[in-house]
Amino acid sequence: MIAPATAGPLTGHRLSVRNLGPNWYAAVMGTAIVATAGAAQRFQVPGLLLHAVWALSLLMLATILAGRAVHWTRHRDQARLHLLDPGVAPFYGCLSMALLAVGAATSAVGVDLLGEHAAVVLDAVLWIAGTVIGVVAAAAVPYLMVARHRIETGSASPVWLLPVVAPMVSAATGPAFVPHLPEGQWRLAMIMGCYAFFGISLFATLIILPVVFSRLLHGGPLPLTLTPTLFLVLGPLGQSTTALNNIAAAAPLGSPEYAGAAQAFAFLYGAPVMGFALLWFAFAAALVVGAVRDGMTFAMTWWGFTFPVGTCVTGAAGLARHTGLDALFWLSAALYAFLVAAWLIALVRTVRGVASGALLPYS
């Protein structure tokens, strides 16, 4: 395998997928959420741009799925090492979230190009696959961390949240199917299932987050490369707020007798959680600024600035729709501006890294 960064593009060598880990799905998530969050804005984002971003996320998903399939086929030794590495295994939750994120973007944006029936079918396939994989990851990765991994003291990081956040994405995207399901038991089952996914993720997050914060208090800032992962904490915060607001919107069709309670729960939970999300945003941003001053350079962890912030965009937008509070609309718009800027930077730097061989070597 040839390692020089410039050799591959100039001599016709092919990219090697040996080091293509599950963390690459974060780029799919971060791209898809730009389309979904854009569709949630009160101001009109140009449809052509949203369509292009959605199409790009779909292409990225197909490409990385193919690359990962080759990785497992030709480099099974490396794939097993990834599963046994406590720093890499949590990223298997990203596969689930990538499928779910692209599915949600398909229903939100892709429907204009595919038509309602095709968009719903594609979203349903991706949602079912993503949900099954997400539940498995939420159970299997923590099991591996307890039974097989050797966790060093003080090594906790926000990356540990990735597998347990995946069911929350299912909870946030599942309510979109309620109008397309038969009335009665099917709709009620979807509403109840989404609440169950919400609970799985919420309580697992409540277990992990104090451990992560304790590591920061006693161990100081994370290593420079991992500093952007501090933004991953925003994921369960914004996604849970999005989930409850989406469930509340679907409740009149799925469980009308509890629709009022669902609306109240979405508000009473979402408002304080979004407040904490803003506090964490400021805290994480301050540590990132310090890391930049200390010489932090680009890594794939920079995609952590995208999807988690996107969930806060959709969370604020959901609260805004249910309360009519203009300040929440403006908050969603401001966070969306940050999301787009972060996405463009991460995308450009990733393309450059792939082209040069810095991120994936050539063979």
- Angstrom distance (rounded) from CA 259 to CA 181: 17
CA gap 240, 248 in Å, rounded: 12
d(CA 152, CA 140): 20
* Position 8 in a domain: no
Model-level pTM? Answer: 0.94
Note whether residue 13 is domain-resident: no
CATH number of the domain encompassing residue 288: 1.50.10.150
Report the pLDDT value the prediction gives residue 3, as an integer from 0 to 100: 32
167 in any annotated domain: yes
Enumerate residue ranges in the chain where pLDDT < 50: 1-11
Query: Which residues form the domain of 198?
Result: 20-353
Instruction: Quote the pLDDT of residue 363.
Output: 67
Q: Dmax of the chain from CA atoms?
A: 66
Gyration radius from the chain CA atoms: 20
Instruction: Please indicate, yes or no, if residue 334 is contained in any of the structural domains.
Output: yes
CA distance 313 to 307: 10
Q: d(Cα 283, Cα 182) in Å, to the nearest integer?
A: 45
In a domain, 363, yes or no: no
Looking at this protein, which amino acid is placed at residue 142?
P
Domain assignment of residue 12, yes or no: no
Q: Which is nearest to 183 in space by CA: 261, 103, 264, 250? A: 250
Is residue 358 in a domain? Answer: no
The total number of structural domains that make up the chain: 1
Q: Mutual orientation of helices 185-219 and 234-254 as an angle, nearest 10°? A: 170
Residue 42 belongs to a domain: yes
Write out pLDDT tens, residues 202-240. 999 999 999 999 999 999 999 999 999 999 999 999 999
Q: Spell out the alpha helix ranges (H) of the chain.
A: 7-11, 25-39, 47-74, 76-84, 93-105, 111-114, 116-147, 162-173, 185-219, 234-254, 259-293, 307-323, 326-356
